Amino acid sequence: MTARHAWRRGQVLIDTYGRVATDLRVSLTDRCNLRCTYCMPEEGLQWLAKPDLLTDDEIVRLIDIAVTSLGIREVRFTGGEPLLRPGLVGIVGRVAALEPRPRMSLTTNGIGLKRTASALKAAGLDRVNVSLDTLRPDVFKTLTRRDRHKDVIEGLYAAREAGLTPVKVNSVLMPGLNEDEAPDLLAWAVEHDYELRFIEQMPLDAQHGWKREGLITAGDILASLRTRFDLTPESDEERGPAPAERWLVNGGPHRVGVIASVTRPFCAACDRTRLTADGQIRTCLFAREETDLRAALRSGAPDEEIARIWRAAMWGKKAASGLDDPSFVRPERPMSAIGG
């Protein structure tokens, strides 16, 4: 069944608010080789046991079901750090062979990209998002608790040279650490032909250190950028369901984006569904409920039954994340366990 047939027959991931999920985020591992302060504690986090993780075959089968039976058009591989998944290149190659072929991207901290960018491109990966919060190696070490700034810079360069474009850079600004770097980061991104996106810090840290007070907001970021750049807003039509609001920089062609999950929620246009590394469906990054697909897979359920479970999970998706509500209750699992 083609994706077009899936739409015609109503076999899509639609919820009660009429939103249709066409973008699948797949977490490949909960492990990471950084310890970013806004994501993970320095030590003591309990990793998923290997038997609990989906196998390569299980991941590809679920993506196949999503693409051929549920109308998914885009797949984003995430983690933890997806480059730590031993079978990553093979998974990408097998997903690239699906009919119809989904667009594929990967969100990474960039440390392993120098080594893997060419192989990922050859396997069929279309582009990458790389996390980099600072241009200062000392601040990077403080934020990530690792001295790997040079590796990320080299990984970004390798991704661009391999053709994994547009290379997008994701940056989180933290009070007292890198809050003054927005203009410098944008100037650097423009110089190197990367598309920069700032992300408001979200309450997904394992140590529960996030506080609404003192949050560096989209408004703060834009005010800082406008001290050095002329920003022209992109139209709502151009944005579509993308989480980032975007602006042309000095008339273009370069753009900068801001993902304002906390202060400017975009739930009404959400087109995403999420699969965790241990086979759970999450209808929202901030959801407190999950639906188990791993059990169905391992009990021998046919593709049609797995697709039915997935559709039922998405039908129950809530109207909004609730993140803009002061009484918001955070998910029990940290970002490293559920995928960014």
Rounded CA separation 290/313 (Å): 8
Q: Give 83's DSSP letter.
A: G
Rounded CA separation 105/74 (Å): 8
- Please determine, for residue 203, whether its predicted confidence score (pLDDT) is greater than 80: no
Q: Do residues 156 and 194 touch, judged by C-beta distance below 8 A?
A: yes
Mean pLDDT calculated for residue range 110-138: 97
- Structural tokens at position 331: 């998910």
pLDDT attached to residue 205:
53
Instruction: State residue 324 phi and psi, 5-degree precision.
Output: -85, 0
Q: What is the DSSP string of 182-214?
A: HHHHHHHHHHHT-EEEEE---S--TT----STT
The vertex-259 CA angle with 172 and 340, nearest 5°, equals 70
pLDDT attached to residue 137:
97
Considering only residues 263 and 319, tell me which one the structure prediction assigns the higher pLDDT: 319
- Please determine, for residue 213, whether its predicted confidence score (pLDDT) is greater than 70: no
Q: Reduced to 3 states, what is the DSSP secondary structure of residue 159?
A: helix
- Residue-wise pLDDT for 127-146, tens only, equals 999 999 999 999 999 999 99
Lowest pLDDT segment from 56-65, 187-196, 227-236: 227-236
**pLDDT tier at 8, thresholds 50, 70, 90:** very low
In this prediction, what percent of the chain has a pLDDT beyond 90? 72
Per-position b or e across 304-326, b if 16+ CB within 10 A of its CB? eebbebbbebbeebbebbbbeee
Mean pLDDT calculated for residue range 108-112: 95
Whole-prediction pTM: 0.90
- Please determine, for residue 5, whether its predicted confidence score (pLDDT) is greater than 50: no
Mean pLDDT calculated for residue range 313-329: 77
Rounded CA separation 45/48 (Å): 10
Rounded CA separation 201/50 (Å): 30
pLDDT attached to residue 311:
98
- Residue-wise pLDDT for 26-47, tens only, equals 999 999 988 887 777 666 577 8
- H helix or E strand, kind and range, residue 129: strand 127-131
Mean pLDDT calculated for residue range 180-199: 97
Rounded CA separation 155/163 (Å): 12
Q: Give 131's DSSP letter.
A: E
- Please determine, for residue 338, whether its predicted confidence score (pLDDT) is greater than 80: no
Rounded CA separation 133/181 (Å): 9
- Residue-wise pLDDT for 73-96, tens only, equals 999 999 999 999 999 999 999 999
Rounded CA separation 98/319 (Å): 32
Tell me how far CA of residue 259 lies from CA of 30, 129, 256, in angstroms.
23, 14, 10
- Structural tokens at position 328: 């918001």
- Residue-wise pLDDT for 260-283, tens only, equals 888 888 889 999 999 999 999 999
pLDDT attached to residue 90:
98
**pLDDT tier at 4, thresholds 50, 70, 90:** very low
> Which residues are within 8 A (CB) of 253 and not within 5 positions of it... i.e. 6 or more apart?
none
C-alpha of 55 from chain center: 21
